[in-house]
Structure 1
Amino acid sequence: MKIRIGTRGSKLALAQANYVLEKLKERFPENDYELVVIQTTGDLDQNRPLDALGSKGIFTDEIEKALLSGEIQLAVHSMKDMPDTLKDGLIFADPWDREDARDVLVLNDAESLEDLPKGANIATGSKRRSYQLLALRPDINIFPIRGNIDTRIRKLREGLPDGTKLDGIVLAAAGLKRLGLESEISQYINISDMIPAPAQGTLAIELKADNEELLKMVNSFSDEVIRNITYLERGFLKKIGGDCHLPIGAYASVTDTGYELRALFGTEDGSKMATTLVSGEKATEELIDKAVRDIKRQLEE
């Protein structure tokens, strides 16, 4: 079988796609594998803020068209960048083990958020990160930032195009670790202080719904725990009705008695924010509904 794996062209996207390719090649060496780099709308427009570009499909539309046409057989994405509903004819394979889901600070001089001087300049392209950061340090200034990980670190060291000097940026731990850049991390932010994006650190492996043989191969790398965790986090995203314009977070974990779901939701301008922590013996829709009800109750108060 010839398996072409579609991916964006950034270092992180290539690292993730190569990881999937090598895992498949190791377990199923009888197949031929090839990486296919596909440019997306989001890659071509690096200037406007993400929320000004529209839906999350800006990083996936061209890749999904290649899947549907048969140009590629698999696509590898970051699950946190994926919309809650896929195009007709496409499905996700079961998720594999996720990387570290936490957000991190990469700082120029300070060692932690607490060490930053009053009025420090921090850059992030995420409203979820911005509003949670301001809840911890209301005195800091938040600036938008675009680009891949290397570009963002370069802007941190050299300053923004308008001359603004930055003290730090917020990134996902998963991306830095997958690129071998863990040494750049100044501080891991506790989940309780900054709830990650739903399924942050988890790869989304997408394929045509009727490709049963390939689906079986890819699903062989999954397990029940990661399926349940992803179900809870992505389920909250879908039930709360969020999109890329709104601050949304969800983090599920296994406890001694079952599962725990920590979630965040707020208004676009950050004027209203709510968080919740719910738990149950099983990863069920009821647990997701419990989190959604509590969030909505808080926002209506």
Structure 2
Amino acid sequence: MHYKIGTRGSKLALVQAEFVRDCLQEHYPQDRFELKIIKTKGDKIQNKALSAIGDKGLFVKEIEQELLLGEIHLAVHSMKDMPGELPDGLCFAKAWKREDPRDVLVLREAKSLQELPKHAVIGTGSKRRAYQLQAIRPDIEIVDIRGNVDTRLAKMEAQKLDGIVLAAAGLKRLHREDVITEYLDPNEMIPATTQGTLAIELPTDAAELLEKVNALSDEKTERMTRTERLFLEQIGGDCHMPIGGYATETADGRICLAAIFGNEDGSRLIRCKKTGNDPDDVVQIVVDEMKRQLYENGIFMI
């Protein structure tokens, strides 16, 4: 069978899609897997902050359209870019093993976050990262930057920024760990939900292909992914708000979910961390507690 895999054309997207293609090709040598590059709305808009565009499907809609039309057989995305709900007729395969979910600092001169000078200027396009960073170091100034890893590194130098915040997963997949100055503790800098996890999307009626992809999945990652996406779905909010969620497995096999939610300007950030046996129960406890705190802080009414 000949399968076409849809992907964005950025360097990171291609590395991720090539990884999936190569794994599938290795395990199913009787089949043929090839990539098809598809340009998305997010690729075409480079002069606006992501939060200002206000479209949760910024990097996926065009790819999903080709899936639904049968132009491609499966698609590879970063799971954190995926909207809470998929279009009718599409589904996710079970998650493969997660890459490092942490955020990292890439600093021009300083050796750590705490060593940064007063009023240091840090670049990031993420409100979640910006507001959590300022919660740790209130004096830090944030500037909005967009683009791929190389573009952001170039902007750091050109604009003489003190540093930028990036995802460890992307740098590791691109073999650019050499630029990392400091890994940020995910308990202080809660990652985006499902950061570091690939989303493999395909039509719901592609049972044979789904079975092949699921055979390469990782049970622990699938469980954590389900927990984090369920939290995102239950807490609501939109792309204008800082939202993060990070699920881990405890030594005794339970699920621990750390989450953050805030208002648009980051003046009020709500954190919650709970542990339990069932993903649905843990998420419900976290969401109920956060909504109670949000109500008490006047962020919105429930």
TM-score for both structures, normalised by structure 1: 0.96
Give the structure 1 partner of residue 258 of structure 2: 262
User: What one-letter code is carried by the residue in structure 2 that aligns with 1:228?
Assistant: R
User: In 2, Cα distance between the equivalents of 1:177 and 1:256?
Assistant: 26
User: In 1, Cα distance between the equivalents of 2:9 and 2:218?
Assistant: 29
Give the structure 2 partner of residue 279 of structure 1: 275
Give 1:283 deviation, angstroms. Answer: 3.3
User: What one-letter code is carried by the residue in structure 1 that aligns with 2:255?
Assistant: Y
Give 1:218 deviation, angstroms. Answer: 0.4
User: Could you tell me whether the CA contact under 8 Å between 1:195 and 1:250 is conserved in 2?
Assistant: yes
User: Could you tell me whether the CA contact under 8 Å between 2:255 and 2:279 is conserved in 1?
Assistant: no
Give the structure 1 partner of residue 173 of structure 2: 178
Which string of whole-angstrom CA distances, capped at 9 and with x for unpartnered residues, describes residues 250-282 of structure 1?
1111102311111111111112211111001x2
User: What one-letter code is carried by the residue in structure 1 that aligns with 2:107?
Assistant: L
User: In 1, Cα distance between the equivalents of 2:202 and 2:278?
Assistant: 25
Give 1:178 deviation, angstroms. Answer: 0.2
User: Could you tell me whether the CA contact under 8 Å between 2:5 and 2:75 is conserved in 1?
Assistant: yes
Matches within 5 A, 1:33-182: 33-159=33-159, 165-182=160-177
User: In 2, Cα distance between the equivalents of 1:145 and 1:284?
Assistant: 35
Give the structure 1 partner of residue 204 of structure 2: 209
User: In 1, Cα distance between the equivalents of 2:238 and 2:177?
Assistant: 30
Give the structure 2 partner of residue 195 of structure 1: 190
The DSSP-based 3-state class of the residue aligned with 2:255 is strand
User: Could you tell me whether the CA contact under 8 Å between 1:74 and 1:206 is conserved in 2?
Assistant: yes
Task: For structure 1, list consecutive stretches of 5 or more residues without a partner in the other structure.
Answer: 160-164
Give 1:296 deviation, angstroms. Answer: 1.2
User: In 1, Cα distance between the equivalents of 2:267 and 2:109?
Assistant: 31
Which string of whole-angstrom CA distances, capped at 9 and with x for unpartnered residues, describes residues 178-220 of structure 1?
0000010000000111000000000000000100000000001
Alignment equivalent of 2:248, drawn from 238, 250, 253:
253
User: Could you tell me whether the CA contact under 8 Å between 1:56 and 1:83 is conserved in 2?
Assistant: yes
Quote the sequence identity (%). 57
Give 1:224 deviation, angstroms. Answer: 2.4
Give the structure 2 partner of residue 21 of structure 1: 21
User: In 1, Cα distance between the equivalents of 2:185 and 2:256?
Assistant: 16
**Runs of 4+ with >4 A deviation:** none
User: Which is further off, 102-111 or 243-252?
Assistant: 243-252
User: What one-letter code is carried by the residue in structure 1 that aligns with 2:29?
Assistant: P
Which string of whole-angstrom CA distances, capped at 9 and with x for unpartnered residues, describes residues 63-109 of structure 1?
00111111111100000010010011110100001000000000100
User: What one-letter code is carried by the residue in structure 2 that aligns with 1:75?
Assistant: A
Matched, 1:226 2:195: no
User: In 2, Cα distance between the equivalents of 1:133 and 1:74?
Assistant: 37
Give 1:158 deviation, angstroms. Answer: 1.5
User: In 1, Cα distance between the equivalents of 2:157 and 2:176?
Assistant: 15
User: Could you tell me whether the CA contact under 8 Å between 1:40 and 1:63 is conserved in 2?
Assistant: yes
Give the structure 1 partner of residue 286 of structure 2: 291
User: In 2, Cα distance between the equivalents of 1:297 and 1:54?
Assistant: 26
User: What one-letter code is carried by the residue in structure 2 that aligns with 1:184?
Assistant: V
User: Could you tell me whether the CA contact under 8 Å between 1:16 and 1:178 is conserved in 2?
Assistant: yes
Give the structure 2 partner of residue 162 of structure 1: none
User: What one-letter code is carried by the residue in structure 2 that aligns with 1:38?
Assistant: I
User: In 1, Cα distance between the equivalents of 2:154 and 2:85?
Assistant: 34
User: Could you tell me whether the CA contact under 8 Å between 1:77 and 1:203 is conserved in 2?
Assistant: yes
User: In 2, Cα distance between the equivalents of 1:114 and 1:286?
Assistant: 37
User: In 1, Cα distance between the equivalents of 2:56 and 2:16?
Assistant: 19
User: In 2, Cα distance between the equivalents of 1:250 and 1:290?
Assistant: 14
Which string of whole-angstrom CA distances, capped at 9 and with x for unpartnered residues, describes residues 95-127 of structure 1?
001000000000100011111100110010000
TM-score for both structures, normalised by structure 2: 0.96
The DSSP-based 3-state class of the residue aligned with 2:106 is strand
Which string of whole-angstrom CA distances, capped at 9 and with x for unpartnered residues, describes residues 21-64 of structure 1?
00000000111111100111110111100011121211111100
User: In 2, Cα distance between the equivalents of 1:168 and 1:9?
Assistant: 26
User: Could you tell me whether the CA contact under 8 Å between 1:93 and 1:204 is conserved in 2?
Assistant: yes
**Aligned CA-pair RMSD:** 0.8
User: In 1, Cα distance between the equivalents of 2:8 and 2:23?
Assistant: 19
Give the structure 1 partner of residue 299 of structure 2: none
The DSSP-based 3-state class of the residue aligned with 1:58 is coil
